[in-house]
Amino acid sequence: MAQAAFRFPCGGNSHTYKDLSAFVKTCEGMEAMHSETLARAKTKLGSPRGRWWRGQGRTSVDSRAKTLRPVSSGRILAVLGMPAVFLVLGLALRYLAYASVDPQATLARFPDALCLWDCRWYVGLAENGYDPFPSPGMVNAGNWAFFPLFPVLVGLLRLAIPAPTILVATGASLVLAYGAVLAAWPLLRDLRAYLLYAAFVLCGPFSIYFSTFYTEVLFVLLATAGFVALQQRNYLLAALCGALLSATRIVGVFFVLAILAQAFLDHRARGGRVLDFVPAVLRRADLVLAIFLAPLGLFLYMAFLHWHIGDALAFSHVQRAWAREVGNPLLYLWRGLTRFPAEGFVPTVSQQLALAAVTGLALTAILFWRRRVPAALFSLVCILVPLAAGLASMVRFMVAQPPLVLQLVELLGRSRIAIVLALAGFLVADYYFTIAWLGGYLTLV
Amino acid sequence: MSENAASKPSPRSVALYALAGALALFELATLWAALNPTAPEAYRAYFIDKTTTCLNLPKPGTYALGSTVSFRSDGAALARDLRVCGWEGPAGDGTHSVGETSRLRFAVPPGVGDLRLTLELAAVLTEGQADQLVEVSANGVAVGRAEMNDRDAHVFELVIPAAALASDPGFVNIALDFPRAIRMAPGDNDTRKRAVKLLSARLAPA
């Protein structure tokens, strides 16, 4: 798979460049460079293959050039400013929700109050590291199911910031959440959809996951960055994101499938035959390295677990302590959907979790339908793998899948009415879902 | 560009291939390690081989010989050191067994003779399961059975011969096996099966 050549007018002459960065470098040195052409090319560098996220395969340079626009300062301000506003708004809403249920609410206790369920495990992990076997508490479940990257990051930050762990982790989460929204801009490139995405992540119904000590926020940031790298056909950067993803949550290891899918689509777009795909990959050193780099985080964690407790698969085996058994995901889904309430019409927790999975699968189907195969493939596996261990935490897993949420906001962003309703819904839901979270509502766990 | 130059890989490509090879070797070695765990036997049995639903942990078994320990909420502090695995609670009406085996561990003075184990148990029954059977062993030696066909609390007394203590001097490791343990909901994991509630336990010289 050879590098594509780009042909652009530069200084009144037409040249062929191996890549756009070479073009820009050359053009910048030429006094006769037309400023608009340079601006267009720089914009293009952010998305050298056109709007991949919009489901297009390879397009001609000419047709892609039509979409090039210089980025206005107003747009930059909007892209940077909107998430900042929602970040503050989300914090305020969640604090008000917390204050409404705790008469002794204080700002100092706020981060700790939101730290429930797995968050407690992560705090312990950041402070004390991984359990030996037997675990110090002499309980079945060691903390091996919790992947290391975010706790390690917080553990390192603790060394530099003398503050309680949960405060450091909350600060880190908020910064990462802001970064995750910014990172999504190249995938959306539509202010209305971007507005909704920023609101969803930073002050939406599930913003709690992205503002306390859960790995979801880092997962979203890395997955988004990985897809942006894929959009730019930077396989090594995408693989690096994959490596970090696979050290963040187990499903991150499947980002390698997205890389392979994108490579396959590129191969086909160049006229390559299906049978020639493997030889074509083997001829590309960067792709070969990407394939082995992407799952590295998981393998490093496995090697650590083998050294630490003698079981490289402890992160999976320990699920037995939570009575989770690997089974047929569709069967789990069916059981969840058919666990009707004893009385009334409010769906049971199992039904709510199953509906979250169904929604995720529906959005995945839309991704496939719109030929966003790498994102669809990654999302599908990220739904089916946890579903094979039951419905637990399915809501959290769905909302932390950037391709699904980006697809959703893109659909909603087409209608002004939907945008207004969704925004209002997000803000109201942030408040009430925070109260539900603090009350231990199981669907949100 | 000559044909030789075109086919010759660049130094960058060589470096990338070499790095990919090193990663592949590391990942293969890690996979090999994953297939050959070195974890302790108790860990393997519970987590890997799944031959037991009870993770045999080295609890201290702190216990005053002859005392009765409540496994209701009021005795949680004393019971904690005796509960090895296969228990959940205590709830108001006792500590529930979970899984197909539950274990207790009692530290006893050296040289103690025959012992009498007293267990107060109540069966967990459903429409499809009208009775419960508990097979009791001490340090691996079968010492008796308890059978219940109602939900009332029953007291069972079993004698543990001194010879049974030889395999682990200073400790009595009680295993309660529940061959008729039941799944309370379809699809429940075997570690979630229910059989009995333990209300109290006592170990005293026979």
Q: Are B83 and B60 contacting, i.e. CB atoms less than 8 angstroms apart?
A: no
* Lowest pLDDT segment from A56-65, A78-87, B22-31, B39-48: A56-65
- The predicted structure's pLDDT at residue A217: 98
Q: What is the pLDDT of residue A36?
A: 41
Q: Name the residue among B12, B39, B189 with its Cβ closest to that of A310.
A: B39
Statement: residue A37 has pLDDT above 60? no
**Residues on chain A bordering chain B, Cβ-to-Cβ distance under 8 angstroms:** 133-134, 138-140, 285-286, 288-289, 291-293, 295-296, 299, 302-303, 306, 309-314, 317-318, 320-321, 323-325, 327, 331-332, 335
Closest chain B C-alpha to A355 CA, distance in angstroms? 19
Instruction: State whether the Cα torsion A419-A421-A424-A425 is positive or negative.
Output: negative
**Higher per-residue pLDDT: A440 or A41:** A440
Read off the tokens for A327.
Answer: 């089974």
Please state the rounded mean pLDDT for residues A16-24: 41
pTM, entire model: 0.86
**Tokens in use for B27?**
């990942």
What confidence tier does A69 reach under pLDDT thresholds 50, 70, 90?
low
Residues of B whose CB is below 8 A from A133: 39-40, 43
What is the rounded CA–CA span in Å between residue A181 and residue A151?
A: 21
pLDDT at A334 over 80: yes
Of A288, A296, A317, the CB nearest to B48: A317
* Highest-pLDDT range among A48-57, A322-331, A398-407: A398-407
**Which one of B8, B13, B23, B80 would you mutate to disrupt binding with A, by most A Cβ within 10 Å of its Cβ?**
B23
Residues paired with B144 in a beta bridge:
B136
- B12 chain-A contacts, CB cut-off 8 A: 285
What does the pLDDT read at residue A70? Answer: 63
Please say if the pLDDT value at position A437 is more than 60. Answer: yes
Residues of B whose CB is below 8 A from A140? 46, 55, 57, 85
The verdict on a CB contact (< 8 Å) between A303 and B30 is yes
pLDDT of amino acid A68:
52
Mean pLDDT (whole number) for A293-304: 98
Average pLDDT of the segment spanning B2-8: 57
Q: Can you say how many angstroms the Cα of residue A225 is from the centroid of all Cα atoms in its chain?
A: 8
Average pLDDT, chain A: 87
* Percent above pLDDT 90 for chain A: 79
Which of the pair, B44 or A28, is modelled with greater confidence? B44
Q: Give the residue from chain A lying closest to B23, CA to CA.
A: A292
In this prediction, residues A358-371 reach a mean pLDDT of 97
pLDDT of amino acid A3: 38
Rounded to the nearest 10°, the torsion over CA A315, A318, A319, A322 is -140
Torsion angles phi and psi, residue A17, rounded to 5: -120, 150
* CB contact (8 A) between residue B27 and residue A295: yes
Q: Closest chain B residue to A295 measured between Cα atoms?
A: B27
Residue A194: pLDDT band (50, 70, 90) is very high
- The Cα of A257 is separated from the nearest Cα of chain B by a number of Å equal to 17
| Distance spanning both ends of chain A, measured CA to CA | 45
Percent of chain B having pLDDT more than 70? 97
Query: How much is the average pLDDT of B30-59?
Result: 95
Element (H, E) at B13: helix B11-35
pLDDT at A368 over 80: yes
Using an 8 Å CB-CB cutoff, list chain A residues near B39: 133, 309-311, 314
Interface probe, candidates B30, B49, B81, chain A, greatest A C-beta count within 10 A? B30
Look at residue A138 and tell me whether its pLDDT is greater than 90: no
Residue A389: closest CA among chain B residues belongs to which residue? Answer: B189
The answer to whether the peptide bond before residue B58 is cis (omega within 30 degrees of 0) is no
* Contact call for A306 and B34, based on CB within 8 A: yes
Given a cut of 90, is residue A144 above it in pLDDT? Answer: yes
Is residue B67 less than 8 Å (CB to CB) from chain A?
A: no
pLDDT of residue A261 exceeding 70: yes
Residues in chain A with CB shorter than 8 Å from the CB of B79 are none
> What are the pLDDT digits (tens) for A175-188?
999 999 999 999 99
Higher pLDDT residue, B79 or A37?
A: B79
DSSP string across A358-419? HHHHHHHHHHHHTT-HHHHHHHHHHHHHHHTT-STTHHHHHHT-HHHHHHHHHHHTT-HHHH
Q: How far A373 CA lies from chain B's nearest CA (Å)?
A: 25
| Segment among A109-123, A411-425, B4-18, B98-112 with least mean pLDDT | B4-18
Q: Which residue has the tokens 């069916």?
A: A334
Mean pLDDT of A263-289: 96
Q: What distance in Å separates residue A299's CA from the closest CA in chain B?
A: 6
CA distance A177 to A201: 7
